[in-house]
Chains A and B, each alone.
Chain A
Amino acid sequence: MESNIAIRIEHLGKRYKIGGGPGFDTLRDAITGGVSRIFRRAPRAKREEFWALKDVTFEVEKGEVVGIIGRNGAGKSTLLKILSRITETTEGRARVRGRVRALLEVGTGFHGELTGRENIYVSGAILGMRKAEIDGKFDKIVDFSGVEKFLDTPVKHYSSGMYVRLGFAVAAHLEPEVLLVDEVLAVGDAEFQKRCLGKMDEVAKGGRTVLFVSHNMGAIRALCRRAVWIDGGTSRRAGEASDVVDSYIKGLTEEQEYEKSKQEQAFFVKKVLLKNSRGEISNKISFREDLEIEVHYIAKNEIRNPRFWLFVIGPHGPLFSANMRLDGFRPHKVQGEGSFSCIFKQVPLLPQLYTIRMGAQYEDGVSTLLEDVNIASFYVNSKMSELGLTGALADVLAARATSIMNDYEWRFPDQEPRAISAKKDIAS
């Protein structure tokens, strides 16, 4: 393996067997199962095979931060578990240069009855540190956690915030050559998330290699130079983080475009195209850019004066909509194959992943023409600094902030007013 390669994964596969096998829960089941097989010559309970990972191949260079993205159940966590040796691989091979430490949860090995001090040692040792190593880093860990006052209190009396901070403080001082991180950032408050991301950034800048599984596309884009998209247990695409994220989001939309089961309906969505303000087809827009949603439909019969609505839904819920039930606009009719567009002007959305949901009613305003259905996803791609948001790690934190952003201005008596606006020439 060349010396600049930190991780080389070749044709990695993981098979699970479902049913039968040593998965008996009680001895009785195992014995009766065995006995009945002898007497009835019944075939062994059929074991279904399931490949959680199949033929995963990619490389990570030393000092790279690589994001692993994919839908739930795509195999991302299985991959981390194989690399961290929690579970075995069924086939293929992975080679990793240096110590690997995995951060799959916060507070691994913590015991409620033990004090913070005692738990630092237990958790540290379980995560793979030697005792001397923990001794040496003890003060730094305590400092980082900010719980020094409660160091001799059993952690069962800690608030969940303190617990998480202490747990992360231990994990943050592992200092491995290769760090595997799985969505731990999903827990804790914004302050904690900032700490986590800051630490990851620091680890990466220190020339270590990080593999980062996340649904936070903002974090992936901000922290990772490269990304790997795992889909259906295999590596579907690897490359520049922003390219991989784009094709991942595009993939999400393609799957949502129309569902075959709905084809029998009186009205269904055949295809959806998203366009930016220049009219180019894209799932990516910038902050305050226009977003055009072009819906291609098939209506079996002539439908007069239908009512449509399109909702934009962010990570925290619905945000705004174009809704004929409210605005009173009525299309004359839809019939056969056709299309219509809706343009949202100057969409004030921060860089996050959004979904568009559509529904429709007949003229009567009561009967359903189209059940609410997700028809597309898009991503807002903007640098926070261009919006005048210059906070540390703002690009990463934006992915978890409220989605809509309006212009505003801070006024403090002893300071110049500070206007935050979408324009690139801020505070002018």
Chain B
Amino acid sequence: MNATVPFQSSERIFVIEPQRGWLDLALGELWRFHDLLWILAKRNIQIRYKQTLLGIGWAVIQPVTSMIIFSVIFGGFAKVPSDGLPYPVFAFAALVPWTYFASTFAAGSTSVSDHGYLITKVYFPRLILPLTPLLSGLLDFLIALCLLAAMMAWYGIVPTPAAAFIPLFVLLLMATSFTVSLWLSAMCAFFRDIKVLVPFLAQLWFFLTPIVYPTSIIPGPWRVFYALNPMTAVVEGFRWSLLGKAAPDGGLILASSALVAGALFFGLIFFRRMERSFVDVV
């Protein structure tokens, strides 16, 4: 839609014409608006901080409460194995990335339909919308990560040199969250059912990810299917690099990453294709 031709020093000529082609992801345009992404992410955090009584305290309460309940029920009563690690740390190391994933993809999925009032009034790259929760969720994520460090210190767990890989798993976590947000947010603009689907999907996904149980209890043949779930690779990666659990299957991680990369690429194309009609449906 918008090719820019340099003209003189400061004045460019914007050409507005019907969009053609499928592969124009307009990422340069996205970069021009990176200040907006930053300010919107900050706004999300500010609003949440102001609207709720406990504000940023929720970043601690949510994963910690889950961790305590899981430890009592699954670790205590059900005696679910935890690969030789203390169950609370075992569960919490998975809950840190999971909580980020669940909250970003929930906010990301409805990001387009929730911002109809902006889409109809002003132009900006619509990709900013599903990207924003990705950024604003990082604050809670970092707080939870600090808590995890404190718990590790409490249990005397020292990170191994594998901790150097943690940024890669964070990247995979963010890419997975973004991919799901991309697909769902574009669909949610047209089908309001997605809003109902999201909590249900989050619940299913939670049990299909080894958060309250270790992958070691899964029978061999079934593990192949686990490679289809990138959150398995993320959770396994966190446990391995931070808690020193046995190294995960490198093949699983590569397969998951490739899957996410593919879904992300086609998700971008899908989103760009759909965004032309956002203004007419939101």
Contact = CB atoms under 8 A, between A and B. Distances in A.
A131 B13 contact: no
A88 B1 contact: yes
Contacts of B10: 98
A328 B7 CA distance: 72
Interface centre among A92, A118, A126 (most CB of B within 10 A): A126
Interface in A120-135: 121-122, 125-131
Interface in A16-37: 16, 22-28, 30
A105 B50 CA distance: 26
B1 A118 contact: no
Contacts of A105: 121
A90 B18 CA distance: 5
B279 interface: yes
Interface stretch (B36-44, B158-166, B205-213, B216-224): B36-44
A363 B108 CA distance: 71
Contacts, number: 116
A132 B206 CA distance: 42
B123 interface: yes
A118 B11 contact: no
A102 B123 contact: yes
A129 B238 CA distance: 39
Interface string B236-254: 0000000000000000000
Interface string B13-55: 1111111000000000000000110111001001100110000
B16 A89 contact: yes
Contact of A83 (B16, B39, B47): B16
A98 B11 contact: yes
B121 A88 contact: no
Interface stretch (A106-114, A262-270, A273-281, A334-342): A106-114
A95 B43 CA distance: 34
A125 B35 contact: yes
A90 B16 CA distance: 10
A113 B13 CA distance: 38
B148 interface: no
Q: What class of interface size applies to chain A in its complex with B?
A: 35 or more
Interface centre among A28, A100, A122 (most CB of B within 10 A): A122
B79 interface: no
Interface stretch (B96-104, B134-142, B187-195, B261-269): B187-195
Interface in A43-95: 81-95
A1 B13 contact: yes
A269 B6 CA distance: 59
B2 interface: yes
Interface centre among B50, B51, B121, B276 (most CB of A within 10 A): B121
A23 B13 contact: no
A34 B33 CA distance: 39
A89 B18 contact: yes
A194 interface: no
Contacts of A113: 46-47, 50-51
B204 interface: no
A326 B56 CA distance: 73
B193 A88 contact: no
Contacts of B40: 122, 125-126
A128 B124 CA distance: 8
B118 interface: yes
B192 A16 contact: no
Contacts of A90: 18
Interface residues of B, number: 41
B192 A25 contact: yes
Given A96-B16, A100-B14, A130 B43 contact: no
B122 A126 contact: yes
Interface string B171-199: 00000000000000000001111100000
Contacts of A88: 1, 18-19, 276
A84 B118 CA distance: 13
B132 to A, nearest CB: 12
Contact of B122 (A27, A89, A127): A127
B15 A93 contact: yes
Contacts of B47: 111, 113-114
Contact of B13 (A28, A92, A95, A125): A95
B14 A16 contact: no
Contacts of A118: 43, 46
Interface centre among B10, B35, B38, B51 (most CB of A within 10 A): B35
Given A96-B13, A121-B39, A125-B39, A85 B2 contact: yes
Contacts of A125: 35-36, 39-40
B13 A86 contact: no
A30 B18 contact: no
B187 to A, nearest CB: 8
B193 A28 contact: yes
A104 interface: yes
A188 interface: no
Contacts of B190: 22-24
23 contacts: A22-B190, A22-B277, A23-B280, A24-B190, A24-B191, A27-B191, A27-B193, A85-B16, A86-B279, A87-B280, A93-B15, A93-B16, A96-B14, A97-B13, A100-B14, A102-B123, A108-B118, A108-B121, A109-B122, A113-B50, A114-B46, A128-B122, A131-B35
Interface of A: 1, 3, 16, 22-28, 30, 81-98, 100, 102, 104-105, 108-109, 111, 113-114, 118, 121-122, 125-131, 154, 177
Given A85-B16, A88-B18, A128-B123, 18 more contacts: A22-B190, A23-B280, A26-B191, A26-B192, A86-B119, A86-B279, A88-B1, A92-B17, A95-B13, A96-B14, A97-B11, A97-B13, A100-B14, A108-B121, A109-B122, A113-B51, A122-B40, A128-B124
